[in-house]
Structure 1
């Protein structure tokens, strides 16, 4: 592992800080919004075990979001402006994580989890040797948990595709057709992308990560008997999320998870930081 170029916030110039913030916001927002969608399944999952498992996945994702939001707080942000009071058009998560969960469609959620966490594991591997030391210090825990998330989703997809039920297989295929174009937005470039790579904040380009991701997910999904859309022929969604442009699903979700904060007019909302952090 190489010695990080930036030991902390004081080592960053204006352009370097701007690039780091862009990277951290995308990472944190992806995780936070993914968790918000997962918790919609509470008490509705197919089994008690799967309910608990997805609750654990959501908890992990909130924890990962906290890691990255904490680094943004170290750069001078307050939690209110990071989450509760940040306008929805300033969030930069990919559209894959914001899409409304199709009612009762467990296959849709398990496929979304697999597509997202496979990409997330690759992204974490690309910041293991980040030039920003505080980012490197937090990656190992995230990698271990993302591996579990992916394994959990794969076990369910194996089961759903092997049930011998035409209806079950159709549900998985329908979910793939719906989600795959939005999964590609995980690799859409947002502002300051060139600086992120040039400064070594992330050591791989989005194009390289996309290729690695396709090399993993396409053979696996095809092994389940699924017809995977041709990536270069997929119609790109009108919005990618990375530039703050989102689907209507996002604005509805944002209103839901900020409602209590707005209604109770908290002077100081519950913090994501742990005691003594």
Structure 2
């Protein structure tokens, strides 16, 4: 029988062990970033994790994701569930073999929500990311959204901040654009116009890199959802995917320890607020 994980030398976590064990984290997307998110959460006394993905593991995933050769061909959800249980058998792991999209968001997520739920989004589709974030606004659920790892080579450039402040990440740029276009999020200045007012933060945690890519952004694969190719034109390395995942997991733990389960703070432009 495995031994329980202890945090005697980390007073902040040790004093919040009950909060951690009562929390529920939903991880959507289990690829280069999401697999490392789950690994970190499983080692941090999180009580309940829901894994959502329909993808299986292929050989070209091994350079940047957490899998081993004998995992090839298996569903990512199944492998990560077993891994979590081997790390800490007290964790409750729920798996959902599906891709999140506009049509199934409510049916899949709403039954899972508790007062201590956090969503970590590692989806690589800007349109699906926007739909998911809009959903969290409606349901007042805290969300941490992760940017693209494609083309990154410098893990020291990975930061976290409000989604309104992201500049160099193209995936999050298009996500924010879709939120304003399709979900009535507050608009920024028009292209070419100077921003003369202070943008109000949306309270949407984003993890992204400030590294400016040498490759053209058109080389990045930013899909509209569903299955994608195992290999893209824009390479990815494990020491960047893993850092994005670890930072996202750390932000989730911060929310849990602080007890601040606040959803996004967005007044849509069609709301009379």
TM-score, with length taken from structure 1: 0.28
TM-score, with length taken from structure 2: 0.28
